[in-house]
Amino acid sequence: MKGIGDYAVVYDISSDRERRRVEKVLKGFGFRVQRSVFECRLNKGGKRELITKLEKIGVCTGFIKIYKLDYTCHSCVIGEGAQKSMDEGHAFIV
C-alpha cells in the first residue's frame, strides 16, 4: 500500500489532564500496544492531521514522539513475549 506507513507513537506525560487528551486523540488514529504506546497506520494526510491535533494540546509536562516502523528488518523479542506467535512477527487486521 503505497503512501501508507505504520507508526509507533510514544509519550511520557506527567499531567493526568494532558495525558488523557493525548490518549483520546491517539485512540482515534490507532490502537494501544502498551500503557504509553500506540500503533497507527497512517497516510500522509492522516499523519499531518495527527501531528496537528497533538500540537494543539500543547503538552508542557512531557513529550510525544512518533517513530516510523520498518518491517524490513527482523525484530528481536526478549522476555515473555519471545514465544513464537501465530502471526510470526506480522500483524493481521481482520
Whether the Cβ atoms of residue 12 and residue 36 lie closer than 8 Å to each other: yes
Whether the Cβ atoms of residue 68 and residue 5 lie closer than 8 Å to each other: yes
pLDDT tens column, 19-70: 999 999 999 999 999 999 999 999 999 999 999 999 999 999 999 999 998 8
Contacts of 5 (CB under 8 A, 6+ apart): 41, 42, 43, 47, 68, 69
CATH 3.30.70.240 fits 4-82, yes or no: yes
Its pTM stands at: 0.75
Q: How many angstroms separate the CA atoms of 30 and 38, rounded?
A: 6
State the pLDDT at residue 81.
58
pLDDT band for position 89 (cuts 50, 70, 90): low
Query: E strand or H helix at 47, and its extent?
Result: helix 44-57
> In degrees rounded to 5, what are phi and psi of residue 76?
-120, 120
